[in-house]
Amino acid sequence: MAAPGALQPRLDRIVSIIAANMVAEVCSIYLSRAGDMLELFASEGLNPQAIHQTRLRFGEGLVGRIAALATPVSLSDAQKDPYFAYRPETGEEIYHAFMGVPIIRSNRVLGVVVVQNKAQRRYNEEEIEALQIVAMALAELVGSGDVVDPHELSGGPFVRGAPHFLEGLSLNEGIAEGVAVFHEAKVQITKFIAENPVDEKDRLHRALADLRQSIDDMLATVELKRGGEHRDILEAYRMFAHDRGWLQRIETVIESGLTAEAAVERVQLDNQARMAHVTDTYIAERLSDLDDLAHRLIRHLVGLPSTAAREHLPENAVLIAKTMGPAELLDYDRTLLRAVVLSEGTPSAHVSIVARALEIPMVGKLGEALNQIQPGDELIVDADNGQVHVNPGADIAQSYHETMAARLQRAAEYAAHKDLPAVTTDDIHVQLNINAGLTVDLPHLEETGADGIGLFRTEFQFLVGSKMPRLQEQMALYRDVITAAAGKPVVFRTLDIGGDKEVRFIASSREENPALGWRAIRVALDRPALLRYQVRALIQAAVGAELRVMFPMIADVSEFKMARDVVDREIQRLTRMGGAMPTSIQVGSMLEVPSLAWQLDTLLPLADFISIGSSDLLQFFFAFDRNNPALAGRYDIFAPSALSFIKSIIDKCDALETPVSLCGEMAGRPLVAMALIGLGLRSLSVPASAVGPIKTMIRSLDVGALKNYIATLLGSADHSVQGKLREFAQDHRVVL
């Protein structure tokens, strides 16, 4: 690429090198031209006469679809794909296997690089990654302007109103289309010096009273009356609004001679300055809530509408904001809101949690790129991939319309099959449960036809408050979950707090490796009152029903025995008091620390069930930080060593007749679920949205054939056998 000489020979040499190194019979480079067109610029393998003659619109054919959606595509038989567009001048009718990746620079799709083979083969993850790396290098060459004039590129320099896309972080999945509406315009404070501090304090108190009343009004709405974690968030938010320390600091500044609104702004700027160097994510997110309150209070003081929620919204509003508090999102009419796009935001922020509860697609972390959106712009928010398409062309819009229509159709098919059992073609039943942690998740039990809740995360109730929830508050939540389950089993995981899940009522110190630190059962055993009260609440909430409890992050049997002893003491206490009891109590352990796998002979006689926490287990097994972007995708459950390890756990549990399940989020991918079933697992707990796809996969699967095949892969020296399992699924018509 850096060699001297004319550009066309260099491109011709590049495709030849890529084809040779990837053992591909075809390598082609398509580059973006004016008018959302892709032109074939170089090819090894296709008819040379097609170069600079073959063109595809964005969204047209497989190449156009890659450019429109900015995502890779890999197919073993491209010609059977409904998006395949045949161009007779290329001579590509003899090629079946197809892999293409977008060439992206500065969030602009500049082209597509493709490899093809005659044989029907599946390109593996490493090959896709290799081609993506090549595309990154190509992007620098193409983006230099030496190949195509930058002003001609459809994804070239940003032009107001022109089609382009922005890339951020998915905060809540989904795809939506609508019109950009800005959450708020910045309030300009024009009067800073007060004439009478007493009058200014009176103005402050009146505005604060209005603010508090608006929060109370939100809490009184029908949607929030029924409770749940999003109500708990707003309760914590209300606590901020009643904080005397905050009010006193504002009053002190007013006494120095500033107006009420200037004083509120001054105090908030001071807060931001003090917190500017704090790296604690939890504190930063709470500061965002306080920013929200300050902005709302200033708006009350200057007499402006708080946000666009008070204005007339279009029926398909996409909300645009730098950041938001949870109360602000709840201000909006949910029936008019299609998606939210933020300059900042994190998945654990309160506003993200509320968005998930309300099923609103949300993309964050767009930074300054958000300035490229104007009020009234047409937007497609692809929160599955963390992308926002601004004023998309007709072809891109059509591609997304087809995707959304297909998704709705699949959802309807899954809903129609929700009452069918998850039984394989060779008559093996697999128990399908859902993971949950919010009360808003509970209706998914009925909607999906799941067998139960295999993992209910109890920690969120503790994360949103300034103090430990009272016994009655904990009992109320657990009783609601058990009632909603209507007799279906529910497995409650005790608190997994600490590490990166800090609570305000337990002092903690900064840890170098939070995932390996003071968290989960380690916190509970060091703070036994915390665990004892939670167990007491669980037992009393489950009176007349079955109770299943499991402990997280157990590293050795002694920890499980100590935790189980807390349960036994609480049972004895309630028995002495003559209290009513659950019909049965089962106590299990999470297996997410590898050391525990070597103590199964000792553990299993003591535990009623085992649940494999695959996310942490693989993180510790491979010694990699799963939150490190540099390691994303490097290790996975399809590694022969990981599959063998999990199989050894399943085999040991089966031998001692101890029920075993897996509740990691990754089991929500049908191919992963297929592999786990092939290893012998007969119980899975997955995100609610995955129940339909996985049940469809199960009902098309022959476990006998899979079991025999997967046994041949466990001794493989491959980094991953994902591609081979995908080929098995294709060959045996397993629906993925």
- pLDDT by residue (tens digit) across 341-370? 998 887 756 677 778 767 799 999 887 677
User: Percent of the chain having pLDDT more than 70?
Assistant: 84
- What's the mean pLDDT when you consider all of the chain? 84
For 175-183+315-408, which CATH class?
alpha beta
Active-site positions? 350, 663
Which amino acid, 444? H
Identify the helix (H) or strand (E) that includes residue 166: strand 164-167
Are the CB atoms for 488 and 452 separated by under 8 Å? yes
Give one DSSP letter per residue of 380-431, joined into a string: EEETTTTEEEES--HHHHHHHHHHHHHHHHHHHHHHHTTTS--B-TTS-B-E
The pLDDT tens digits for 409-443 are 877 888 888 899 999 999 999 999 998 887 777 88
Q: DSSP assignment, residue 468?
A: P
* Residue 430 φ/ψ region, left for φ over 0, alpha for ψ in the -120 to 50 degree band, beta for the rest: beta
What does the pLDDT average to over 124-152? 74
C-alpha 268/C-alpha 282 separation (Å) is 18
Phi, psi of 491 (to 5 degrees): -105, 115
**DSSP per-residue codes, 68-99:** HHT--EEES-GGGSTT----GGGTGGG--EEE
Taking residue 394's Cβ as centre, other Cβ atoms within 10 Å add up to 12
pLDDT tens digits, one per residue of 75-88: 999 988 888 888 88
> Which pLDDT belongs to residue 642?
95
DSSP state of 639: S
pLDDT at 498: 67
Predicted confidence at residue 158, as pLDDT, reads 46
Sign of CA dihedral 391, 395, 396, 398: positive
Distance (Å, rounded) from C-alpha 81 to C-alpha 74?
11
Q: Does residue 441 or residue 19 have the better pLDDT? A: 19
Do 329 and 355 touch, CB atoms closer than 8 A? yes
Question: Which residues neighbour 130 within 8 Å (Cβ) at sequence distance 6 or greater?
Answer: 22
Of 462, 450, 628, 441, the closest CA to residue 533 belongs to: 462
Question: Can you tell me the mean pLDDT for 471-493?
Answer: 94
pLDDT at 501: 61
Q: Which residues pair with 432 in a beta bridge?
A: 684
Rounded Cα distance, 291 and 690, in Å: 36
Full strand arrangement of the beta sheet holding 108-117 = 55-57, 37-44, 26-33, 108-117, 97-105, 73-75
Radius of gyration of the chain (CA): 28
Quick one: average pLDDT of 578-595? 95
Average pLDDT for residues 705-725, to the nearest whole number? 94
| Domain residue spans of the chain | 7-157, 175-183+315-408, 197-306, 417-731
Q: Give the pLDDT score at 157.
A: 41
Topology (CATH) of 417-731: TIM Barrel (3.20.20)
**Tokens 């679920």 map to which residue?**
673
Instruction: Give the pLDDT of residue 478.
Output: 94
Q: Which fold has domain 7-157?
A: Beta-Lactamase (3.30.450)
pTM to 2 decimals? 0.63
Count other C-beta atoms under 10 Å from residue 311's C-beta.
9
Q: Considering all CA atoms of the chain, what is the largest pairwise distance in Å, rounded to the nearest integer?
A: 91
Give the model's pLDDT for residue 57: 87
For residues 635 and 624, the answer to whether their CB atoms sit within 8 Å is yes
pLDDT tens per residue across span 640-652 = 999 999 999 999 9
SS3 letters across 278-306: CCCHHHHHHHHHHHHHHHHHHHHHHCCCC
Residue 218, token pair as written in the block: 């939100």
CATH topology identical between 175-183+315-408 and 417-731: no
Q: Candidates 3.40.50.970, 3.50.50.60, 1.10.357.10, 1.10.274.10; correct CATH number of 197-306?
A: 1.10.274.10
321 pLDDT above the threshold of 70 = yes
Which stretch of 198-207, 262-271, 500-509, 546-555 has the lowest confidence by average pLDDT?
500-509
Instruction: Give me the residue label for tokens 């899979």.
Output: 706
Please tell me the predicted confidence (pLDDT) of residue 282: 57
Angle of CA points 633, 696, 484, to nearest 5°: 90
Helix, strand, coil shares of the chain as percentages rounded to 5? 45, 15, 35
pLDDT band at 239 (very low <50, low <70, confident <90, very high): confident
500 or 73, greater pLDDT: 73
Per-residue tokens: 159: 């032009």
Using a pLDDT cut of 90, give the percent of the chain over it. Answer: 42
Q: Is 577 helix (H, G, I), strand (E, B) or coil?
A: coil
Report yes or no: 727 and 122 within 8 Å, Cβ to Cβ. yes
Lowest mean pLDDT among 179-188, 513-522, 545-554: 179-188
Q: pLDDT grade, residue 604 (50/70/90)?
A: very high
pLDDT tens, residue by residue, 84-130: 888 888 988 899 999 999 988 756 788 999 999 999 888 888 888 78
H or E element: which one contains 598? none
